[in-house]
Structure 1
Amino acid sequence: MQGEAYDFVVVGGGSAGCIVAARLAAGARVLLLEAGDAATAHPETQSADGFKDAFSKDALMWHRMSAPQADCGGRSLYVGTGRVMGGSGSVNGMVYTRGDRRDFENWPAGWRWQDIGPAFAAVEARLGVRPRPATPFALAFIDAAVEAGLARKDGLNDGDLGGVVGANDMNYEGDTRRSSYRAFLHRRDLPGLTVRTGAAVRRILFDGSKAAVAVEFAADGAVHQARVGRELVLCAGALETPRLLMLSGVGPVGDLERVGIRPVQDAPGVGRHLQDHPNVCMFYRARAPIDFQYPQVYGFDAARRPADAPKGQAPDTCFVCYAAPASLKQSMARMVPILALPGRLYRLAFLRKLLRGLIDLAFLLPPLRRFVAQVFGIVVILGKPTSRGRITLASSSPDVPAKIDLGYYATPQDRETMRAGIAKARDIAARATLRAAGATPLSAGAKPVSDKALWKWLTAATMTTFHFCGSCRMGDDADSPVDTRLRVKGLRNVRVADASVIPEIPVSALNAPAMMIGWRAADFILQGDAA
């Protein structure tokens, strides 16, 4: 077989993959394959202030659209993720939150809060996470949330997020982003590691015993192979890892045969149980310019908890104070071409450039700049969705995107929780402290409207929070394709180490859990736990 041999091949240089590759390379030959560019080619991925520019840059994000969402007005939603060394950890807002300890009660034995604490701590020691100093407007939001019934809390990583608000930890140091790439790979001497960027993995090759013997990838205009000596570790993320497994014959047999793929292993759970945090942003205008720019203040609550119920219930909703002046222009540069140029038109780079140029010109107008300088949002996030989505193949070709059904709002409980979360956000905005700073409603959802009008706005305004997980969930049940040591069931030497293994989504952002999973995967391998 062609191709150079490595002890370990790691697919995906994202938040988990950088940790896995770095730790294994200390004593083995490791090949890390990343479809995107080197992070050093894009300075915005290295800077703490660069997150807004990274999000709007085509070279740094996968262009993916969901299937039409029945409960979002039939819209297809943008579901891009980071496509660069560091993955989404190189383009996100640097929010670092472990989650609520109750999030992990439905994870398998060995993955409960007390079990995963050491891995979180090890990652945090390398990242150096810390909150950002609260600005006057951020403090006003916190005070208003307290007036609305939340408790102020300094430090949101002790596992108790029920009914609290405060400054969340972030992975930064000065003006530098502290992604897993920066912390574990950047400028580190790892002689056993080979990193290949611009390498899009197309499929896994198996022998008759269901052992992965090589991966096939496209790079530099040609198709290559890399041989797997000991293990293949998939860290491509919750949207790409199941797609790669299915392209390689590992997935629901009926789905594979439908697109002409010969099954290697019947794994009905691959691609199923997809979870995410849908959100809506309620915009307001303050009396003075907004004085912060990061997603540095979070609140968590059980939005549907009756007023007379005891506090401390597990949260199902979170609230983020969003500063429009920091990134509204860049967000529009990302989203407007997607909305205005459907299908093949989006592929025409000159049209995207034209629209983005018009946005840049608009933001040069002093009246618009003055207006946006005073706009803030309260982002309402469905933290514990009960709906589930699914990823399926549309073709046997690696060049054809998968069908991604997010399944948003498919259950009445999710719809009621979002309505309750919006009501809670309105309550926060109406409190005296925030009213004093100015909170004039701009969004339809921020104003009192009928239930029908609210739902119409909500389904039109919903977007992803980019927290995809669960599509290769781990567990002991037959419907979970990955076991609790992160090994793909039925295969001899394939492990999954990314957010796709998460069985139930935490209420918080997923960057921290993804890094924790990467650390534990390396632990299992280094302890001699062969896949």
Structure 2
Amino acid sequence: MTEFDYIIVGGGSAGCVLANRLSENPDHQVCLVEAGGSDKSPLIYIPAGAAITVPHGFHNWQLNAEAQSTMNNRDIYCPRGKTLGGSSSINAMLYIRGQKEDYDQWAALGNEGWSFNDVLPYFLKSQNQERGASELHGIGGPLNVADPRSQHCLSEAFIKGAIEVGEKNNPDFNGADQEGVGWYQVTQKEGQRCSSAAAYLHPVMDRPNLTVMTKSHTARVILEGKKAIGIEIVRGVTRRKLFARKEVILSAGAYGSPQIMLLSGIGARDKLAPHNIDCLHELPGVGENLQEHPDVLVVANDKTASSMAFARPMGMGRVIRDAVKYIYKREGFLTSSLAESGGFIKSSPEVERPDLQLHFIPAAMEDHGRKLSRYLQYGFSIHVCILRPDSRGRVSLNSASPTDNPEIQLNLLEKQADMDCLVRGIKRVRQIIQSSELSRYAGEEYLPGSDVQDDDELESYIRNNANHIYHPVGTCKMGADDMAVVDTRLKVHGLEGLRVVDASIMPTLISGNTNAPAMMIAEKAADMILDKNQPKIHFEKVTETEKTQSRISVYSS
């Protein structure tokens, strides 16, 4: 077939949701186009496989933001999923929605219908919370959310140590209050990764009205005047055109969606002219407003040798032991998200809501896990991440070829406020490490190192070592100002038949991991595309034999 009702570009977190929801009606012919390949790999479905897929080229585009001036001209590694499920197939599987205020801010910026109360029904519709249902959690949705099956003793010591020095205990980061430390819930089912492909796509792959094309690069959106009528794809050395009777939907992510728009002649003239691309639709915001969570590591020696040191004989023995546990029980460290525990804390008492996120790793790591010598050391790592950075970057083209990577300027830590927040975060993490609970394990500090103490020294360490936590958003932002790319229904301004549905539409970065919000955006977009009303939520408390149980139902009209 070359003609469909809906063509979805990108089979990642959002694209798989759309493929499912839009093909529910058998009268709709839906085509999902993915540049990567199949996700049928143990490195994807065994959760701890992220230790291999994130740092290396397995199912990973391995993008780079080259020579970043704000980071001492270092190249900054930008892993993205190269497979069905996109980055949800290689991420740490943490289920985080962000803070209520994040979405209320979207609405305050003029995006009616995107407040927390507006988006919560779509989080609930998507979710199957294994703990059960409540006002803030849903059951029966495709995306399984579970408590971690691996709870390393070091991860537990971090939680206890943070509480000891004054942080709150929080058993549910997606509850009424995000602040505190605890165990992360994960998008897993029965000890295996529950990516967007596993949750939404594979259960419906046999629908006769759904076509899934992998290893197919989208070269451009085909415009007829101011209307999108299809796409041109590249498969190997061949080019082919696919046509959409209703809509083309870009779900290629914060790097891919603006790249495709620019290749199509949609964007700012000064970005297109160097590549001899005619400007067919002037839209200056395409590729601008890039936001990412800056992140820096504090790494310490584990003097008890309790941590995972994969290249040490004892560490390898543990891996073999846990492999057996995984095969027979789907338990053990192979079920680990690696970032098993963590939290959301305030960088100073004056801050109104948490502005830092911590991820605790019961292993020594450096440079996204690509520095292999760390696997010879017993240690633990704590990621310190700014939740709402002020700095902004941009995405442009390196060339007019669809198979070339985009040009990425992250511009991390351009604003001094972001740097100051990270400095405060490192100091707070050091206090947690000095707690009686965690100091029982902690030996020498590798990074930043005990000789790095004052603010200037910490700033120098951060410029030379900080990275990010794989949450790019904002490059096709939603809004009504001159730099907005889509409206509140995610339609591209000034064009007919073209929407963007992925994390690139976020006007501002949410306070946490972006995978669950990307799926929420797609759930909401599907209802808008199909002209359905917002799901209605019915909540009731039912008393059964002196035990109150919560029941919730979510349904679309």
Alignment of 1:111 onto 2:127: no
Moved more, 419-428 or 46-55: 46-55
Alignment of 1:278 onto 2:281: no
In angstroms, what is the RMSD of aligned CA positions? 2.1
Alignment of 1:95 onto 2:98: no
Deviation of 1:476 (Å): 2.3
Alignment of 1:20 onto 2:18: yes
1:65–1:76 contact (8 Å) kept in structure 2: yes
Alignment of 1:297 onto 2:341: yes
- Where structure 2 has 5 or more consecutive residues not aligned to the other structure, the ranges are 129-141, 309-332, 534-557
Match of 1:319 among 358, 374, 383: 358
Deviation of 1:220 (Å): 3.7
Q: Which residue does the alignment assign to 2:481?
A: 477
Partner of 1:170, secondary structure, is: coil
Q: Which residue does the alignment assign to 1:351?
A: none
Q: Which residue does the alignment assign to 2:124?
A: 121
1:59-458 paired onto structure 2 within 5 Å: 59-107=58-106, 108-125=111-128, 126-132=142-148, 134-162=151-179, 164-188=180-204, 189-208=206-225, 210-288=226-304, 289-290=306-307, 293=336, 294-306=338-350, 313-324=352-363, 328=365, 332=369, 335=370, 369=376, 372=377, 374-445=378-449, 448-458=452-462
Partner of 1:186, secondary structure, is: helix
- Where structure 1 has 5 or more consecutive residues not aligned to the other structure, the ranges are 337-358
Q: 1:445 to 1:419 in 2, by over 3 A?
A: farther
Q: Which residue does the alignment assign to 1:502?
A: 506
Deviation of 1:412 (Å): 1.2
* Alignment deviations for residues 141-170 of structure 1 (CA, whole Å, 9 cap, x no partner): 1111112221001111025223x1111210
Deviation of 1:446 (Å): 5.9
CA distance in 2 between partners of 1:496 and 1:155 (Å):
31
Query: Quick one: which amino acid aligns to residue 75 of structure 2?
Result: S
Deviation of 1:180 (Å): 1.0
Q: Which residue does the alignment assign to 1:355?
A: none
Q: Which one has the bigger helix percentage?
A: 1
Deviation of 1:253 (Å): 2.5
Q: Give the number of equivalent residue pairs.
A: 484
Q: 1:445 to 1:484 in 2, by over 3 A?
A: farther
Q: Which residue does the alignment assign to 1:38?
A: 38
Deviation of 1:398 (Å): 2.5
Q: Which residue does the alignment assign to 2:520?
A: 516
Instruction: Give runs of ≥4 in structure 1 deviating > 4 Å.
Output: 328-332, 445-448
Moved more, 249-258 or 74-83: 249-258
Partner of 1:183, secondary structure, is: helix
Query: Quick one: which amino acid aligns to residue 144 of structure 1?
Result: G
Moved more, 279-288 or 29-38: 279-288
Partner of 2:202, secondary structure, is: coil
CA distance in 2 between partners of 1:230 and 1:9 (Å):
9
Moved more, 454-463 or 377-386: 454-463
Q: 1:528 to 1:450 in 2, by over 3 A?
A: closer
Query: Quick one: which amino acid aligns to residue 518 of structure 1?
Result: A
CA distance in 1 between partners of 2:521 and 2:290 (Å):
17
Q: 1:394 to 1:138 in 2, by over 3 A?
A: closer
Partner of 1:417, secondary structure, is: helix
CA distance in 2 between partners of 1:416 and 1:329 (Å):
22
2:301–2:446 contact (8 Å) kept in structure 1: yes
CA distance in 2 between partners of 1:305 and 1:116 (Å):
30
Query: Quick one: which amino acid aligns to residue 114 of structure 1?
Result: N
CA distance in 2 between partners of 1:25 and 1:445 (Å):
54
CA distance in 1 between partners of 2:188 and 2:96 (Å):
13
Query: Quick one: which amino acid aligns to residue 96 of structure 2?
Result: T
Deviation of 1:470 (Å): 0.3
Deviation of 1:101 (Å): 1.0
Q: 1:446 to 1:211 in 2, by over 3 A?
A: farther
* Alignment deviations for residues 257-293 of structure 1 (CA, whole Å, 9 cap, x no partner): 3432211211111100000011111111223212765
Identity of aligned residues (%): 31
* Alignment deviations for residues 10-50 of structure 1 (CA, whole Å, 9 cap, x no partner): 0000011000011111221111000111112x222122232
Query: Quick one: which amino acid aligns to residue 395 of structure 1?
Result: S
CA distance in 1 between partners of 2:76 and 2:154 (Å):
32
Q: 1:47 to 1:232 in 2, by over 3 A?
A: same
CA distance in 1 between partners of 2:44 and 2:346 (Å):
35
Deviation of 1:447 (Å): 5.4
CA distance in 2 between partners of 1:61 and 1:153 (Å):
33
CA distance in 2 between partners of 1:528 and 1:519 (Å):
11
Deviation of 1:519 (Å): 0.9
Moved more, 502-511 or 429-438: 429-438
Q: Which residue does the alignment assign to 2:537?
A: none
CA distance in 2 between partners of 1:389 and 1:235 (Å):
20
CA distance in 1 between partners of 2:451 and 2:105 (Å):
37
Q: 1:525 to 1:137 in 2, by over 3 A?
A: same
Q: 1:23 to 1:219 in 2, by over 3 A?
A: same
CA distance in 1 between partners of 2:192 and 2:501 (Å):
26
Deviation of 1:431 (Å): 1.3
